[in-house]
């Protein structure tokens, strides 16, 4: 809007860093960022880049930040009506903005500052929110289906009944967020930070959690059947009565987790760390615990008869008369298990 820059047709986009230019090809090996590079510059049908404002998303050598040509970091003032009509808000300052119910489908909000913004009922399907800051925002019943939300900061945000179907949230921060009844159908949740988040009655059908941090989450009555939870961090999480049948939890860190009455039938728990876990009444039928650690775990009222327990560390784990072990009690003593009446 402030200036027009005529560009020739080029095969790659380039990004100006402080004192240097870094091309998309040069960054192609950085999988964390390259997935979003193709949208960082705005191209018109006539190969004209319209400069929306002073600040834009730039690579500074360690990450993407909103800065101007002099290297100063900041955000752009923007009129809501202009945003509604043009749907362009790269590095826009939308702190506390009332965007309730707006149609922002396919809007470009990369790097936008949306802290404490009200987006209740808004439609951002297909929007580009790469690196946007949405801390403490209200996203109740908002739609982000198919949106690019890689590396978005949603810490402490309210996501009640929000829809993220097939959205890309790779590396997003959802620490302390309220996700109750939100829908993440086929969402990319690789490496997300969900520490201390409320995940009560959330739908994660076919979502990918590989490498995610779910430490201390409250995930009661949540369906995670057949999900990829490889190497996730679930320390001290509350998964009481959670559905984890056929889930893939290879090398997951689950120390101190509450899995009481959870369904883990057929789950792959190979080399998982379940030290100090509460597994009272859990269903582990046909689960694979090869080389897993159950040290100090509570195995009261658990049936392990059809469970693979080869090379499992049972030291100091507790069991009672209702526990069905896959070996004799003498072997349990040898494994240093503790019987509780």
Instruction: For residue 82, report the phi and psi dihedrals to the nearest 5 degrees.
Output: -65, -40
Query: How far, in Å, CA of 90 to CA of 65, rounded?
Result: 11
Which pLDDT score is estimated for 226? 87
Global model pTM greater than 0.85: no
Give me 15's structure tokens. Answer: 């990004």
Which pLDDT score is estimated for 225? 86
In a domain, 38, yes or no: yes
In a domain, 156, yes or no: no
**Coil, helix or strand at residue 120:** coil
Query: How far, in Å, CA of 244 to CA of 268, rounded?
Result: 10
Which pLDDT score is estimated for 44? 28
Q: Which residue range is the domain that position 43 belongs to?
A: 3-67
User: Residue 31 is inside which H or E element, if any?
Assistant: helix 31-34
Domains of the chain: total:
1
In a domain, 20, yes or no: yes
DSSP annotation of 307: S
In a domain, 308, yes or no: no
Which pLDDT score is estimated for 221? 66
Which pLDDT score is estimated for 201? 86
For residues 30-59, one letter each, b for 16 or more C-beta atoms within 10 angstroms of the residue's C-beta and e for the rest, the string is: eeebebbbebbeeeeeeeeeeebbbbbbbb
Contact call for residues 109 and 129 (beta carbons, < 8 A): yes
Give me 252's structure tokens. Answer: 């997951």
Query: How far, in Å, CA of 75 to CA of 66, rounded?
Result: 7
Contact call for residues 67 and 74 (beta carbons, < 8 A): yes
In a domain, 10, yes or no: yes
Among 219, 176, 182, 168, residue whose Cα is nearest residue 194: 176
Low-confidence ranges of the chain (pLDDT < 70): 1-53, 220-221
In a domain, 122, yes or no: no
Contact call for residues 212 and 232 (beta carbons, < 8 A): yes
Give me 83's structure tokens. Answer: 């945003």
């Amino acid at each position: 809007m402030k200036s027009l820059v005529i560009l020739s047709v080029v095969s790659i986009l380039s990004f100006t860093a402080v004192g240097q230019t870094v091309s998309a090809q040069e960054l192609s090996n950085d999988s964390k960022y390259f997935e979003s590079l193709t949208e960082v510059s705005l191209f018109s049908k006539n190969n004209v880049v319209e400069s929306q404002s002073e600040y834009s998303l730039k690579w500074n050598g360690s990450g993407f930040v909103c800065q101007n040509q002099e290297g100063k970091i900041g955000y752009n003032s923007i009129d809501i009506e202009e945003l509604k009509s043009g749907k362009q808000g790269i590095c826009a300052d939308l702190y506390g903005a009332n965007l309730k119910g707006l149609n922002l489908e396919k809007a470009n909000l990369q790097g936008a500052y949306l802290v404490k913004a009200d987006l209740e009922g808004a439609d951002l399907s297909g929007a580009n929110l790469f690196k946007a800051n949405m801390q403490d925002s209200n996203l109740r019943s908002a739609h982000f289906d198919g949106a690019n939300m890689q590396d978005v900061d949603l810490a402490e945000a309210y996501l009640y009944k929000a829809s993220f179907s097939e959205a890309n949230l790779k590396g997003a921060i959802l620490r302390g967020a309220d996700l109750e009844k939100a829908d993440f159908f086929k969402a990319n949740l690789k490496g997300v930070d969900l520490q201390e988040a409320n995940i009560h009655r959330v739908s994660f059908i076919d979502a990918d959690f590989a490498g995610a941090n779910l430490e201390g989450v409250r995930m009661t009555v949540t369906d995670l059947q057949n999900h990829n939870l490889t190497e996730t961090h679930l320390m001290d999480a509350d998964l009481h009565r959670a559905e984890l049948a056929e889930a893939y939890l290879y090398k997951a860190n689950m120390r101190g987790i509450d899995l009481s009455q959870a369904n883990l039938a057929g789950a792959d728990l190979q080399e998982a760390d379940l030290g100090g876990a509460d597994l009272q009444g859990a269903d582990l039928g046909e689960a694979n615990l090869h080389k897993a650690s159950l040290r100090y775990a509570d195995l009261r009222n658990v049936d392990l008869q059809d469970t693979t327990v080869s090379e499992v560390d049972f030291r100091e784990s507790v069991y009672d008369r209702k526990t069905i072990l896959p070996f004799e009690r003498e072997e349990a003593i040898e494994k240093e298990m503790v019987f509780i009446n």
